[in-house]
Structure 1
Amino acid sequence: MNKVIYLEADEEIINIVDRLKNTKDDKIALVVPAGAILLSSAVNLRLLMDESKNIGKRISIVTTDPSGRNIASQIGFTVYENLSDAREIKEKDIEERERIPTYQRNSEKRIEEIEEKEESGDVFAYTDLDDDFEEENTEKPPKHQKEFYISEKSEPKKPQPKSQLLYTGSNIETSKKIKGIIYSPRFWIFSIIGFIITLFLLVFIFPKATVYLNVTANEETLNIGFNLSTNNALSDTPGKATLSANWETKDQESSVSEKATGKKNIGQKAKGTVTAFNRSGKTVTIASGTEFLTGDNKRYVITQSISVPGAVVSDFGELVPGKATGPIEASEGGSVFNIGPSRFYIPALSEIHGNLVYGQSFEDIGGGDDKEAVVVSKEDIENAKKKAQAEIENKLNEELGMKGDKIFIKGLSTLEITGEELSKKEGEEAEEFSMKLKGKFSFLTFDKNDFDKMFEDSIKINISNEKKLVGTGYRNVQWEVSKFDKDKKTGEVLAKVTILTATSINEDFLRSKIVTLNIQELRAVLSKYPEVELDRVRFFPPLLLSSIPSNEKNVNIKVDYVE
């Protein structure tokens, strides 16, 4: 390299180009410090390359910046890490050009050996050899070494005399044998037979093709109606098969907890005295706990049994009712039961005596006060019962569907409550109570194998020959119970079966249509079937074939069903 220019790190591209123009040498090495502006952008380096070509300068870049060297080499510059590397590489190139190629030394050595054999008389015969002959063991010169050698020669190469190839007696004898075999009729017969066999293998045996097809599959719903019976009785519904069923029972129990929501006043009860009047002619006994109702339906109970004599007629001809007095108190606490003198109706005696027996208080009934408490209400008990029953049904629902070889369908069962236990009774004070419910389920089941056989028979009837069932059976089933008679233990069911179907591919027919076709022709044939798409074709041997073999046995068709 003739000229070395050292650049500053912040030197601009315009200044660099001006310095190149002012330099007379054509070959210039630019020493660029690491991190320089020139190396930070591929645009700057590309501009430098274009300008150097325009002014006829051959530029190389010397820098220790690895990323800068990488970018510069990609742009097309010759790149060195330092000036000593650049000089060393150049010296090696000069030495390589001056080195005598190996193939020249081998050729000269071979000529000397031939001359020695001629002088010793070991040569039996010789013949002329073409200029381009190369000895078997002669090392061929690399292409770049040959070019360097020729370019460095100062004198034109003199034409070389033709070399001489040695033939010994054994070589001539071998040559005669080979010629005898080649001109033998038997050799040509076996050659023709071998050619025919090879051609047969290449055309009919070795070529193979595998055609991969994608066929669209669609879901369909197949409705299958059938009857169930425990005694195998014939169905009254024509056109429906009857499957044998079993009547099974299962005991279940459930315990639930429920919060009490009832309200009750548990304050002191109002108390007082009541007089019972009897206008009938017979004595009436009023038992303890008998209710007395006021006109506004406030309930009181008598706390002691009393006997009320029948009515009598006075000397003046008037009816004098019999009477008896006893203690009375409100049915529950609360100040609302504090009342003044009142008349009472006795519901327990109304059916027999009507209004002839009644009660009357002549003094205030009082002493009641208010204190509210949470108690178990009737609605709380009903809700707990429904919740417990739902849990029992949920446990049974876990048995629904196909369990092994048995099928149980919801709607073919009945539930009987066999026991009920409450931790608190209605009206009792409690924040929470529990209920334990016992039940017995009775239900119909049938065999899965019987249903599968019926499904297969239905497929044969309902699926056309142009379609086929994809997979081994149905994907899922939705059951609908039309009728259920728990007494006769029979049922009528509709099964909505989801299946996957696709166009049926006649592989033998398709094979006969696609032999000898290339890929484009094969796509044209398959375009007549909208649900069939060519995925790929694999040939064997892969690099020698581009069309389907003519032998149908060597054509394999693989179908993949896609939704």
Structure 2
Amino acid sequence: MHKTFYIDVDEEVTSIIDRLKKSSVNENILVIPQRALILQSIVNLKLLKKEAEKNKKQVMIITQDAHGQALVERAGILVQSSMEGIEEENAIGENFQPKINDDSVKEKLSENMEKKEKLKSLGSGEFFDISPRKKEATLGMEKIRQSGRKKPKIISAEGDYNLMANFSNSKDKKNESDGYAGGLDPKKERGLERLFGEKPQEQEKKINSNNDSREKKVENGGEIEKTHNRVVSSKARKVFFFLGIICFFSIFSVGVYLFFPKVDVEIYPQTNVKKADLEIEAFSNEDASDEQSGMVIPCRVVEADSSISFSFEATGKKNISDQKAHGTVTLYNGYNSDLQQLVATTRLLTEEGRMFRLVESVVIPGISEIDGKSEPGTVEAEVVADQSGEEYNIEASEFSIPGFKGSPKYGKIYAKSSTKMIGGGSTGMELNSVSENDIASAKKKTEDSARNELKERINGKLEEGEVVLDSSIKEDFINSIASPGAGMVADDFSYQVDLRAKAIVVSQRKIDKLIEDYFAKNGQDGMDIAQIKVEYGNIDADFEKNNLTIRLNAEVLLQNRINLESLKTEVLGKNTSQLREIVDKNNQIKKVELSFYPDFLRGRIPSQGKWVNIKLIEPSLE
């Protein structure tokens, strides 16, 4: 007993498996059209087999799709191309009841199905195997009819039936039927002739003939569009082929004419180099005029200052024996706004009674107002212990000035140290100290950094086109000192530089303009300046009058003046030999280079100016 399922072209494998699970029998036949979705992937077929085995179902696939048959066999499922050899009396129909409201449509469908059942019992599968083109043509109509198609009613028969055994028997029967010369049983052939009035061979010829001029109905906006295939003769094909070639080359030729050829013409002019030593005067006063000298430009003064302090490691060594401790303190003046001077050796006393003295004289600023608050004046100074000994290596402390004791200044003018005093000792030991080399190295590094910072600040004040020439800057070192100084015991020291500079700046554009004017008067007619190269010599700066005397060597590159538009008109339509003659006659041109696009069209310059790009190549002194 078996059940037959008719599969749609676009039916998914999940839908087929669903229908298979609902089948009431073990043997199931799937009738699948060509190019159906399930036949496109072996994965779907293997999944179908797996689900069939899982549900204890036997499956056979009927399809005329050669590629699909190969995939089905690879998936391990039984397959054949027609229903031939399968006993219809053992079939159970699928429960499918379409809704058809039109009685006339029902009658026509019923008649068509009855004829189809009669034809199934006659002949072989090959007789009804129409060409793939015919099947494709009817595919659209089949989908239109599908919603109202009624499956043939198959009569069930009792008894045991085995699909696998029946498949083997059908193979044997097919082999026996192959013995007929026409592939059909003569009795069935006569039955078909009586039914249709034609022999099966004539019927097959008629079907094949109809394939060449079939009508294909396509649903489009509620209307049915009919298209007819027409057979084109071999002679017409040749005509169309040659016409296509002619059209292609015509379009290609028009494209080449419209877009090609293009050519770039590069003109290299004749050049000449001239040099001159010049002297230019620069005045900061606005009364300076060109009448004083032929080469005069204005200048202006720019000032800037820089203050830099760096810390360095002390690398010197010093043996200590009965040495006095020393260090740095900050002196405060909270008495009044007047300056307070303290001479060298002024005594400073700690709360523990340790006495220190100022190394040098200092002046303490008075009280000042900062944001509405009174702040005492401060200054740093170096001190040294009054006596030698390690006990003077004290930590940060506060100091009073015994000399002011008994006066209002006592307690108002005082000192504080923020670091430990060092260097005191009574026994021999070796400590780090600041050497002369340490100070010399620190001075160079700090002053160089101060100069670089100063130049950056001056450059930041320049206007567009202005330059600072060498020897036009005057430096003034306000302060350049190490603390602690050379020979002092310390692990590190600082070096501070306060630098102020004054620069006289000029405009490079105005210098170039003077050079251009000079060579325009002393150059060659018909030549233009292409490039200027300037090397500055000695520069004398008068920082009191703020004037400069600039000496320089000027080198200019002159090029011939060429009328490109006139030259372009002259070279249009010329070949390379004619172009060479034009270049040889024109003493303004050094050489000409051509670039053709595409390259295989080289040999002649286009006669239309829009396809010719001519440009002058600027020469260089390099």
For this structure pair, what is the TM-score category when the shorter chain's length is used for normalisation? 0.3 to 0.5
TM-score by length of 1: 0.38
TM-score by length of 2: 0.35
